[in-house]
Structure 1
Amino acid sequence: MKAESAHVRSIRTPLRAVLPALAALLLASCASAGQAPASATVNFSGLRVSEHRGEDDLLTGGQGLAGLRAPAAPAFADPQAPTAGELRQRAMWSNWRGIADLRPGGMGEAYGSLEAVPGREFHALARVPGARHPHRVMLQLPDAFDAGKPCVVVTASSGSRGIYGSIAVAGAWGLPRGCAVAYTDKGAGSDYFDLDAGVGFDASGNAAAEPGDAVFAPDAVPGAGGVAIAHAHSQDNPEADWGRHVRQAAEFAMHQLNEALPGAGPFDFDNTRVIAVGVSNGGGAVLRAAELEGNWLDAVVAGEPNVFSGGEGSRSLYDYTTQAALLMPCALAGREGLPVSPLTPASTPLRAARCASLAQAGLVEGADLAAQSESAWRQLRDSGWTPEALEAGALSVDFDLWRSVAVTYASAYGRYRAGEHPCGFSFSAQNPDFSPRPATAAERAAWWSDAGGIPPGNGVGIIDPLLAAPDLGWEGLQCLRTLATGDGEDARRVQAGVAATRAALPREGLPVVLVHGVDDGLIPIAFTSDPYAAWARDAGRDVALWRVNDAQHFDGFLILPDYGSRYVPLIPYVHAALDQVADYLDGAARMPTDADISPLARAGGRAPGLEQLAIP
């Protein structure tokens, strides 16, 4: 593979060196009122440069559409010691499949291009002021970059994914158009650390030779075992700094363009177009970037953003996630017509057990399952959940996503070390009975490329010390909910972390387009985009909202037959919004306006085509 012979060089400091402080610490009063101003100058460390041409490329790692559709990940020649090139290719495969709808007739066929894009990649580490740990930044520079009309697309990974976690969103749109694309993992990502073996990952995704060479090396409680993950255990509450992560990725792009194209620049925010785009957590990150001072951004497109704002009806992710974790399994018990996943048969009996637990605790009314389920449903509806979001939320119930999010985010918001989760949760490789065990070398070797940044998955599970039948997660979920609603020391600590994530208004004059599925069951539009858009417009900001009916949160899950027949993917609408924003910036079109989109009927087994998507 071409990537194996890529020219890789370290230009700055070794990874074990401490990154210099970039600015003064955030004032305490700024925590709940937006982020501190971004530093105008950022130093980067551990820079690695690689070339990707011929059998390799920037967009798919040489796999093309057929390779990305392959059901099995690209194999490692040595499962315990993959090469940097193998890890990169497999990370691309994992992230494309995790967030994009790759069914026949859609991405790469009816819309979007997956043709090979030759060019160079630049990887480095950056650190926001006061952070204990760095975040990864990457610039993909296509050979077709037009220095006479320079453009940069800056993005942040969806969910808690690694550095390639937005490639199907930003890379797939920007690279074929000759734009450079700048990425950040926003302080989360797949930089796990094996506490049992004392092994983390270096800049290339390989096992670090020394703990000090690891991108993420946690300050764990003495004697803590299992696996530490950057999002949960950095003690940085990275979500509070999402906007600054995006800003630093854009600054990295300017720095590297000037380094890589000497004589063609200089490139700066005044002469280079910069559009920010992201989905899910990445969508929230670019909205946080939109609030930062300065004219460094030209436009923002945020898909299904996880954003907690000052708008009426806005709720924090932790609030509605912990509520859903407790009530939604019961609310869906016995309800007909719900979407079906491969895990629905195993999940369905647990829904009745949850109703019984809630009834015994006095949290639902009714003497039988039907009445208890209706009571839980009504409580969720009264708190703002829509029927569409509740129905699509069946996927999160089936896959135990509510608990996964709540466990990780509680640790992050409270800035807890590995081994001191207030509800006793931890992460580890597991035996069949859910007890912890040491990870194997082969399992560990695949974490960086395969993991989504939040367990369970890829050989790492949630260790729940309160696990007990018949309602396995009940006790632990009650504890997690108390951190959102209680007033104890740990609850106040978590709630302070949540408050630090509240968004401020976008900069005046900055074009912003939100794209959100009406049926989103993980990041409901009623708690995020709807209140954000109304709040921003009331303050005179230029914000448009595309509300897409029949779209839920996970394009990657549309490969499941029942979900594919019910829902449309969201990424095509995000790309269409980018198209229209770019035309607007060129003076060739008006700024996109609000739209209530109703896709047309779809054929089973295939992704919808452009005519069925009814793009405005």
Structure 2
Amino acid sequence: MRLSPGSPPRAPRRNALTPLRRNALTALAVTALAATALPAAAAPAPAPPGGGAGHCARVHQLRVPGAELQRAACLDELTTAGTVASGHTDPADWAGLTPKDLPVPTGVPGIQIDGYFPDTSTTNTNHGWNHDAQFVIRLPDRWNGGLVVAGTPGNREQYANDRAIADWVLSRGYAYAATDKGNTGLAFHRDGRAPGDAIAEWNDRLTQLTRAARSAVAQRYHRPPARTLATGMSNGGYLVRWQLENRPELYDGGVDWEGTLWRADGPTLLDFLPKALRAYPVYAAGGDGADQARRDLHAAGFPAGSEFLWPYHHQVYWDLTQRIYREEVDPGFDGATEAGTPYCAGGTPACDTDYAYATRPPEVRRAVAKIALTGRIGKPLVTLHGTLDTLLPIGEDSDVYARMVRDAGRGPLHRYYRVEGGTHTDSLYDVFPDRLRPLVPCHRSGFTALERWLATGARPPASKTVALPAGADPTTLVNDCPLGR
């Protein structure tokens, strides 16, 4: 629900959704400061005056502005090396987003604040709160002066970035904050009064959290963050783009990891997913029509060489993603049915397989316009996208967004790295280690390039395709992704 706590949510409607495994939630289903350099190494936070010196002094005196409820804890370990056991994360939130052999850093004591902002929707069940707009803020004892904020991928909850992003930035001394975006789960589209409201709330919630987290940081360390960076994957990457376009004064820069593209005139996922749903069954069946169906999938944006990923994405992502996001911006398409009919055959009435965004009435474009991107970023942005992304095809997403940034005259603020062999979720690297590469280390390379850009003015390597190194061993691919010079 939107930030006004008194506004009623859009009434739940239509038939219940078909139950699906939780890991399907990875489907899309996340004051200006001078760019001063951060310390090379994290320094211990000063002991707060008037309180006990040392670890977690005055932990219970910290206040998150605007929070309806908050709980602070002094932890010996803020990374998932400790929070899994202490109950301060939820592994189900981040399942499937990282390769299994991704190292887990340790040795980050500090304060964690969990809580929620006022909201009327109740899809997030973490902590038994049954309350949306939940957040987590982590404040390490050894702080480098910076703050990283993130929204979640898919329709996941606030701990979804813990393995992919939070562990690493915390180990480098950053404070970290994340939001559940204000609605979660496969029926997220029930939130809000009108089509598009549920996704629009995501942007408001990240803005809200950024302001609140900056205040919490200032309370803990007795000075505001020297740098505030936004980052996130998939829907979280979309949030980075939107924030740097619409709230640039809050941030110094951002890293966009395969962000979702929304444009009133397209392309959006509602353009290419129905094409995939029509063509894939013909391709999978073989026979005379298979070659043409493969060409149709390529024409829809799914790149040649990604065929080995199509069966999994057809089973897990394409149908579900099309139905629930179409329901959010175009609920009238299927009448009294909620989020369509799973895997309906073309020709079935109100079937998402036959959905054609270009033919829909003007109110659908108005709903998308609420959440649309423009490319008019106001702070430096690094974008990374895998060339074998088979949920958000690169040619229909980040390639387009990079052109939008250039066309808006903001090209000098942007670096774009097309990562050869990367796909949408890094867990698939464990299944196809000989064909894919994980994007986690590429995100980290992009992040450190942004740090240098902001700290010294040294521009990152020119936008390029980052080649998949021939014969690289799995340990190297999980840990390294050089962007070049």
User: If the length of structure 1 is used for normalisation, what is the TM-score?
Assistant: 0.60
* Paired amino acid for 1:531: V
Q: Give the match for residue 249 of structure 1.
A: 209
**Aligned equivalents of 1:533 and 1:125: distance in 2?**
35
Structure 1 position 19 matched with structure 2 position 16? no
Please tell me whether Structure 1 or Structure 2 has the larger radius of gyration of its CA atoms: 1
The one-character-per-residue Cα deviations of 1:503-551 (angstroms, maximum 9, x if unpaired) are 022334x111110111111111101111111221232212111011111
**Aligned equivalents of 1:122 and 1:145: distance in 2?**
16
Structure 1 position 378 matched with structure 2 position 295? yes
Structure 1 position 234 matched with structure 2 position 183? no
Superposition deviation, residue 424 in structure 1:
2.3
SS in 2 for 1:122: strand
**Aligned equivalents of 1:310 and 1:413: distance in 2?**
11
Could you tell me which runs of 5 or more consecutive residues in structure 1 were left unpaired when the two chains were aligned: 1-16, 22-41, 68-73, 75-84, 191-228, 334-351, 353-368, 427-463
Superposition deviation, residue 127 in structure 1:
6.3
* Paired amino acid for 1:60: T
Structure 1 position 166 matched with structure 2 position 161? yes
* Paired amino acid for 1:124: G
Superposition deviation, residue 328 in structure 1:
2.2
Call closer, same or farther: CA 1:604–1:370 in 2, change over 3 Å. Answer: farther
Structure 1 position 409 matched with structure 2 position 325? yes
**Aligned equivalents of 2:173 and 2:234: distance in 1?**
25
1:328 alignment partner, one of 268, 275, 280:
280
Superposition deviation, residue 178 in structure 1:
1.3
2:309 alignment partner, one of 392, 395, 400:
392
Structure 1 position 608 matched with structure 2 position 477? yes
**Aligned equivalents of 1:329 and 1:166: distance in 2?**
34
Q: Give the match for residue 184 of structure 1.
A: 179
Q: Give the match for residue 98 of structure 1.
A: 96
**Aligned equivalents of 1:255 and 1:166: distance in 2?**
22
Superposition deviation, residue 156 in structure 1:
0.9
Q: Is the 8 A contact 2:238 2:260 kept in 1?
A: yes
Call closer, same or farther: CA 1:474–1:415 in 2, change over 3 Å. Answer: closer
Q: Give the match for residue 451 of structure 1.
A: none
Q: Give the match for residue 479 of structure 1.
A: 351
Call closer, same or farther: CA 1:171–1:609 in 2, change over 3 Å. Answer: closer
Structure 1 position 125 matched with structure 2 position 116? yes
Q: Give the match for residue 53 of structure 1.
A: 75
* Paired amino acid for 1:296: L
What percent identity do the matched residue pairs reach? 23
**Aligned equivalents of 1:370 and 1:579: distance in 2?**
49
Q: Is the 8 A contact 1:564 1:607 kept in 2?
A: no
* Paired amino acid for 1:244: D
Q: Give the match for residue 459 of structure 1.
A: none
CA RMSD of aligned residues (A): 3.5
Q: Give the match for residue 318 of structure 1.
A: 270
**Aligned equivalents of 1:59 and 1:474: distance in 2?**
47
Could you tell me which runs of 5 or more consecutive residues in structure 2 were left unpaired when the two chains were aligned: 8-63, 124-130
1:304-453, aligned counterparts within 5 Å? Answer: 304-309=258-263, 315-331=267-283, 333=284, 352=285, 369-397=286-314, 399-414=315-330, 422=335, 424-425=337-338
Superposition deviation, residue 152 in structure 1:
0.7
Q: Is the 8 A contact 1:125 1:136 kept in 2?
A: yes
Superposition deviation, residue 592 in structure 1:
4.0
Call closer, same or farther: CA 1:485–1:292 in 2, change over 3 Å. Answer: closer
Q: Give the match for residue 62 of structure 1.
A: 82
Superposition deviation, residue 492 in structure 1:
5.8
Q: Is the 8 A contact 1:121 1:138 kept in 2?
A: yes
Q: Give the match for residue 226 of structure 1.
A: none
Q: Is the 8 A contact 1:512 1:544 kept in 2?
A: yes
* Paired amino acid for 2:231: V
**Aligned equivalents of 1:181 and 1:587: distance in 2?**
23
**Aligned equivalents of 2:268 and 2:453: distance in 1?**
33
Superposition deviation, residue 157 in structure 1:
0.6
The one-character-per-residue Cα deviations of 1:128-157 (angstroms, maximum 9, x if unpaired) are 999x995223211111124xxx21101111
Structure 1 position 291 matched with structure 2 position 204? no
Q: Give the match for residue 281 of structure 1.
A: 235
Superposition deviation, residue 379 in structure 1:
2.6
Q: Which moved more, 1:168-177 or 1:586-595?
A: 586-595
Superposition deviation, residue 552 in structure 1:
1.1
**Aligned equivalents of 1:278 and 1:144: distance in 2?**
23
* Paired amino acid for 2:372: R
Q: Is the 8 A contact 1:58 1:140 kept in 2?
A: yes
Q: Give the match for residue 540 of structure 1.
A: 409
Call closer, same or farther: CA 1:129–1:258 in 2, change over 3 Å. Answer: farther
Q: Give the match for residue 441 of structure 2.
A: 572
The one-character-per-residue Cα deviations of 1:4-44 (angstroms, maximum 9, x if unpaired) are xxxxxxxxxxxxx98378xxxxxxxxxxxxxxxxxxxx962
SS in 1 for 2:273: helix
Q: Give the match for residue 217 of structure 1.
A: none
**Aligned equivalents of 1:502 and 1:481: distance in 2?**
24
Call closer, same or farther: CA 1:578–1:243 in 2, change over 3 Å. Answer: same
Call closer, same or farther: CA 1:415–1:180 in 2, change over 3 Å. Answer: farther
**Aligned equivalents of 2:327 and 2:296: distance in 1?**
27
Call closer, same or farther: CA 1:310–1:386 in 2, change over 3 Å. Answer: farther
**Aligned equivalents of 1:593 and 1:128: distance in 2?**
43
**Aligned equivalents of 1:294 and 1:51: distance in 2?**
31
SS in 2 for 1:565: coil
**Aligned equivalents of 2:243 and 2:251: distance in 1?**
9
* Paired amino acid for 1:234: D
**Aligned equivalents of 1:48 and 1:58: distance in 2?**
17
SS in 2 for 1:575: helix
SS in 1 for 2:114: strand
* Paired amino acid for 2:204: R
User: If the length of structure 2 is used for normalisation, what is the TM-score?
Assistant: 0.75
The one-character-per-residue Cα deviations of 1:25-82 (angstroms, maximum 9, x if unpaired) are xxxxxxxxxxxxxxxxx9623332232423xx2220626xxx8xxxxxx8xxxxxxxx
* Paired amino acid for 2:173: G
**Aligned equivalents of 2:301 and 2:320: distance in 1?**
22
Call closer, same or farther: CA 1:558–1:423 in 2, change over 3 Å. Answer: farther
Counting matched residue pairs gives 414
Q: Give the match for residue 427 of structure 2.
A: 556
